[in-house]
Amino acid sequence: MRTPSVILAAALAALSLGIAACGGDDEKSSESAATPAATATEAPSGQIVSNPDNAAIALKIGSKNFTEQKVLGEIYAQGLKAAGYDTSTDLNLGDQDTALAALKGGQIDAYPEYTGTALTAFFKKDAADLPKDPQAAYEQTKELFAADGITAFPPTPFTSSNEVAVTQETAEKYGLKNISDLSKVADQLTLYGSPECRKRMDCLLGLEEIYGLKFKKFVPVDVAQRHEVLSSGRADVSIVFTTDPQITRNKEVLLEDDKGMFPPYNPTLLMKTETADKAGADLATTIEEIQKPLTDDAMQELDARVDLDKKEPAEVAKEYLQETGLVK
Amino acid sequence: MSLALLAQLKIQDRSSATSSCVESNGFCPQWIADNWERYKTPLIQHIELTLISVAIGFVIAFWLALLAHRRRWLIPPITQFTGILYTIPSVAAFFLLLPLTGRGSTTAVIALVAYTLLIIFRNVTTGLDGVPAEARDAGRGMGLTAHQLLWRVELPLALPEIMAGLRIAVTTTVGLTSLVFLAGAGGLGEAIFSDLQFRSNVVVAGGLCVLLAVVLDLLVLGVQTLLTPWTRAAAR
Amino acid sequence: MTHTFAALGEFGDAINFIFSSRENQRGAPVGGSHNLPLIWEHLKLCAVAMAAALVVALPLGLVLGHTGKGSFLAISTSNVGRAVPSVALIALFIAFLPGSPEFLNVTLALALLAIPPILTNTYVGVQQTDRDAVDAARGMGLSGYQIIRSIELPLALPLIFGGIKTSTVNVIATATIAPLVGVVTLGDPLVAFSVYGREGQIGASIIVAALAIAAEVGLSAVQNAVTPTGIKLERGAEGRARARFGLTKRRIQTAP
């Protein structure tokens, strides 16, 4: 009779020890007060060189909740790690408001935001006031963020805009070429978009106010399903992104933004200014190096490797850095 | 800035749709074999969260049951309280805890622990109640103190019922842990959600979940058999 | 200390969200009476799923329990069912039936989720009815259907209701993730932070928790109403509390 009780007591004790041993949460990253003295010299091939002084700087890179964001987050994290920084990731945070809140609250140190999204969703610019030129859009974004104590690094070469997409059949059936063509038939069509689309001027709200469209129904779904809903026939219209590989594969038709509702969207890495200052000169140069090969075609290829080939964002980011010679 | 020409990314020609298994969204064993690595971290997170939550829940509920064993009047209020914790949906609990513990595994564990309390408390109490009066009398007759009676007679006899409760707690927690991705704590639910419409992904991640539950269930059953050699393992 | 006050402040905002509507930034009115369509959709989804589950599981459990056949099926569905993650069920339907309407997909997934506890509890409840009572009834010439209806069903009611309660609460809980696939229930504020804000997230959680507790209490009241007086009188206060959460002695293990 004694043995089972002893074993039982021992088991309980072991469980309790196990709980105590298994630690708690990760704390958010802390930054060192030291600034790296020298900048890294570059190898002639354009490869990122590791600067040991950067190892004291810990950077947590976040991202929003769709493929392109996750790939970008991984590219920045791995690229900066190659430059010697102590990087970690906290990807897939949620929509733009969640990500910005995480940045401001210190949960992450940086994440890539689109200039257009920042201007319309954060700074509430009217469509009429939106700059058409990507560089002008970036300058405006940079100024507005600087007032908030956030640095917006120079943008990537590629641009990935919100687009209104329909299937080829739908386009032919209703003779759709521009978004304004939808005004005659919108009350027969169902629009699918991300949950935050409902309150964004560069999404449903803009379609309603600028184009005066009144859809039969708006259904919010997770942004990852934006093409599936079109191809399965549940959606008549969907909001997609320019760099999505599914557009060419599924032969979707993108409607022209004839009233100029969509601003330019170039990703710019956002970081709190005090964090950026402590990270030293390598930060800005490395970010620029990382971004240079990111053309429209390149980004679409990377998205395709995740969405179509079903590879992991981390793996795809590594391939990008290796194929462009940034990392050995 | 370096003026060297950087190599460009290799761009594949994707204009023609291929008939590959992955592209046509079938069930792809080859893809699974090549990509099983991506399930390692979610699986480990899932196991950790389940085991930690059940362990903490067991310790708390067990202690509550021992407390109520000698003070019968405690049973209805404790049952009601753990019952309310059991009824509150874990998804709601994640967000109710948000102002207090934020996102992450702490919030997840608290919600998961709350769910197991009723199950374990109920079974320990029922198990102890089910000890035959003769066994207690015999123990007292042998001169055992109340404490010795509990640990040497009552608990061992209550073991099958306690273990049965532990099994239910473990399998239910495995299922619930698939929701902790909403609290930012990862797990196999995160893996499912990362590609909701890719059939192979859903089947593998969901299957791993069920497999994990079966394995843990059998493990507890094994422990029960070891600890109670005098009984057949209780019917499920 | 400030952290606790901040937390209390957030709960205050959440209560405010439940009762008063406001304009969230541009357009999109939320809160207050605008929660009603969400609550309605949530209840609609749960009601249809539960109805479907009851129609399948109750008769099946009663018949299997009465005849004693299919015990492996009845018990294993619960064990396996407990472990299947609700997200996976919903994902399975979306992945394998992409063309069918979301409401149907989610209803089917929820119904599947709800069947195991009802089936197992009904089976065990009927199975463990006092054999003497059944034999006496058979001796009196009652048919199988009459035995089920007048003897086994009333005696098994606590367990059956236990199963129904578990299922209902599970379904209400799982309906909160339906917005991820397009069915706009009370889970919408939880997943669309930018539309509803933090107070929306917490407010909706409070409503969901309240719904679950209300369902539990409501079903217990129904159980009390339909349980024959004779069976109720056997128990005292402790017995009633135990019966409510299933602390009665059983040979076979079921969920609360």
Closest CA to C122 of C174, C52, C70: C70
pLDDT top residue among B98 and A117: A117
The ipTM estimated for the assembled molecules is 0.80
Q: How confident is the model at residue A14 (pLDDT cuts 50, 70, 90)?
A: low
* Whether residues A78 and A140 fall in one domain: yes
Evaluate if residue A2 carries a pLDDT over 70: no
A213 reaches C (C-beta below 8 A):
no
Cβ <8 Å between B95 and C202: yes
Predicted local distance difference test score (pLDDT) of residue B211:
93
| Alpha-carbon distance C141 to nearest alpha carbon in chain B (angstroms) | 33
For residue C240 the two structure tokens come to 């009633």
pLDDT of C232 above 80: no
CATH number of domain containing A199: 3.40.190.120
Q: How many domains does chain A have?
A: 2
CB contact under 8 A, A4 and B4: no
Contact residues, chain C, for B25 at CB < 8 Å: 95
Out of 1.10.3720.10, 3.90.700.10, 2.60.120.10, 1.20.58.100, select the CATH number for domain B40-227.
1.10.3720.10
pLDDT of residue A33: 38
C3 belongs to a structural domain: no
Considering the domain architecture, whether residues A127 and A221 belong to the same structural domain is answered as no
Q: Is residue A33 part of a domain?
A: no
A94 CA to chain C: closest CA distance, Å?
8
User: Least CB-CB distance to C28: which of A199, A209, A234?
Assistant: A199
Total structural domains within chain C: 1
Per-residue tokens: A314:
């981390």
Are C176 and B91 a contacting pair at CB < 8 A?
yes
C118, two tokens: 């009802």
Q: What is the mean pLDDT of chain B?
A: 87
Confidence at B236, pLDDT banded by 50, 70, 90: very low
C-alpha distance from residue B44 to each of A76, A231, B170, B177, B209 (Å): 26, 35, 16, 12, 11
Considering the domain architecture, whether residues A246 and A305 belong to the same structural domain is answered as no
Q: Is residue C100 classed as helix, strand or coil in its secondary structure?
A: coil
- A255 forms beta bridges with A164
Spell out which residues of chain C touch residue B71, defining contact as CB-CB under 8 Å: none
One domain for residues A145 and A186: no
Domain co-membership, A236 together with A290: no
Same domain for A101 and A227: no
The answer to whether C212 contacts chain B (CB < 8 Å) is yes
Please indicate whether, in this complex, the C-beta atoms of C245 and B118 are within 8 angstroms of each other. Answer: yes
pLDDT tops 50 at residue C21: yes
Cβ contact B223–A289 (<8 Å): no
Above 50 in pLDDT, residue A40?
no
pLDDT, tens digit, 9 for 90 and up, residues B47-65: 999 999 999 999 999 999 9
Spell out which residues of chain B touch residue A42, defining contact as CB-CB under 8 Å: 2
Of B12, B151, B197, the CB nearest to A301: B12
Residue from B9, B136, B198 whose CB has the most chain A CBs within 10 Å, to mutate: B9
Query: Do A313 and A67 form a contact (C-beta atoms < 8 A)?
Result: yes
What's the per-residue H, E or C state across chain A?
Answer: CHHHHHHHHHHHHHHHHHHHHCCCCCCCCCCCCCCCCCCCCCCCCCCCCCCHHHHHCEEEEECCCCHHHHHHHHHHHHHHHHCCCEEEEECCCCCHHHHHHHHHHCCCCEEEEEHHHHHHHHCCCCHHHCCCCHHHHHHHHHHHHHCCCEEECCCCCCCCCEEEEECHHHHHHHCCCEHHHHHHCHHHCEEEECHHHHHCCCCHHHHHHCCCCCCCEEEECCHHHCCHHHHCCCCCEEEEECCCCHHHHCCCEEEECCCCCCCCCCEEEEEEHHHHHHHCHHHHHHHHHHHCCCCHHHHHHHHHHHHCCCCCHHHHHHHHHHHCCCCC
Residue C26 has pLDDT above 70, yes or no: no
- Tens-place pLDDT, residues A119-159: 988 998 887 788 889 999 999 999 999 999 999 999 999 99
| Mean pLDDT (chain A, rounded) | 85
Range of the domain at C132: 33-244
The verdict on residue C142 lying in a domain is: yes
Band of pLDDT at residue B36, cut at 50, 70 and 90: confident
Rounded to the nearest angstrom, the minimum Cα separation between C96 and chain A is 11
More confident residue, C196 or C40: C40
Contact with chain B for residue C10, Cβ under 8 A: yes
Contact in structure between B9 and A317 (CB atoms under 8 Å): no
Q: What is the SS3 string spanning B165-234? A: HHHHHHHHHHHHHHHHHHHCCCCHHHHHHHCCCCHHHHHHHHHHHHHHHHHHHHHHHHHHHHHCCCCCCC
The pLDDT of residue C12:
81
pLDDT of residue A30: 38
In-domain check, residue A251: yes
Give domain status of residue A12, yes or no.
no
C85 closest CB neighbour out of B197, B206, B234: B206
pLDDT of amino acid A1: 43
pLDDT at residue A176, rounded to an integer: 93
User: Do A61 and A142 lie in a common domain?
Assistant: yes
Domain boundary among A234, A255, A276: A255
- In a domain, residue A15? The reply is no
CB contact under 8 A, C193 and A220: no
pLDDT tier at A37 (50, 70, 90 boundaries)?
very low
**Is A75:A50 a contact under the CB 8 Å cutoff?**
no
Per-residue pLDDT averaged across A68-94, rounded?
A: 93
Residue C152 belongs to some domain of the structure: yes
Residues of B in contact with A1 (CB under 8 A): 152-153, 156
* Average of per-residue pLDDT values in chain C: 82
Å between B55 CA and nearest CA of chain A: 6
A168 contacts A253 by C-beta, under 8 angstroms: yes
How far is the alpha carbon of C62 from chain B, nearest alpha carbon, in Å? 19
From chain A, pick out residues whose CB is under 8 angstroms from the CB of B195: 224, 310
Helix axes B199-227 and B155-176, enclosed angle (nearest 10): 170
Residue where one domain finishes, among candidates A223, A255, A287: A255
Are C26 and A97 an interchain contact pair (Cβ–Cβ within 8 Å)?
no
Q: Are A194 and A220 in contact (CB under 8 A)?
A: yes
Assess if residue A328 is contained within a domain: no
State whether B96 and C252 contact (CB < 8 Å). Answer: no
A169 shares a domain with A147:
no
Q: What is the pLDDT of residue C231?
A: 67
Q: Which residue has the higher pLDDT, B147 or C235?
A: B147
Flag the least confident range among A52-56, B230-234, C48-52.
B230-234
Per-residue model confidence (pLDDT) at position B81: 93
With beta carbons under 8 A apart, name residues in chain C contacting B202: 88, 91-92, 95
Range of the domain at A231: 162-255
Claim to verify: residue A233 and residue A220 sit in the same structural domain: yes
The per-residue pLDDT for C225 is 87
How many CB pairs (< 8 A) connect A and B?
Answer: 111
Q: Tell me the pLDDT tens digit for each residue of A263-301.
A: 999 999 999 999 999 988 889 999 999 999 999 999 999
Chain A residue numbers with beta carbons less than 8 Å from the beta carbon of C179 are 195, 220
Verify that A90 and A139 share a domain, yes or no.
yes
pLDDT of residue C162: 87
Out of A255, A285, A306, a domain closes at A255
- Out of A196, A209, A228, whose CB is closest to C194? A196
CB A112 within 8 A of CB A270: yes
CA A319 to chain B, closest CA, distance in angstroms equals: 9
Q: Tell whether A283 and A236 lie within a shared domain.
A: no
Q: What percent of chain B has pLDDT over 70?
A: 92
Confidence (pLDDT) at C256: 56
Please tell me which of the candidates B4, B22, B52 has its beta carbon nearest to residue A45: B4
The predicted model gives C88-98 an average pLDDT of 86
Q: Which of A24, A225, A324 is nearest residue B197 as measured by Cβ atoms?
A: A225
A299 is a domain residue? yes
Cβ separation A198–C182 shorter than 8 A: no
Q: Do B196 and A225 count as a contact with CB atoms less than 8 A apart?
A: yes
In this structure, what CATH number is given to the domain that contains residue C53? 1.10.3720.10
Q: Looking at beta carbons, which residues of chain B come within 8 Å of C172?
A: 89
Q: Determine, yes or no, domain membership for A232.
A: yes
pLDDT of A190 strictly over 90: yes
Look up the pTM and report it: 0.82
C84 vs B210: CB contact, 8 Å cut-off?
A: yes
Is 60 exceeded by the pLDDT of residue A20? no
The answer to whether A25 contacts B228, with C-beta atoms less than 8 Å apart, is no
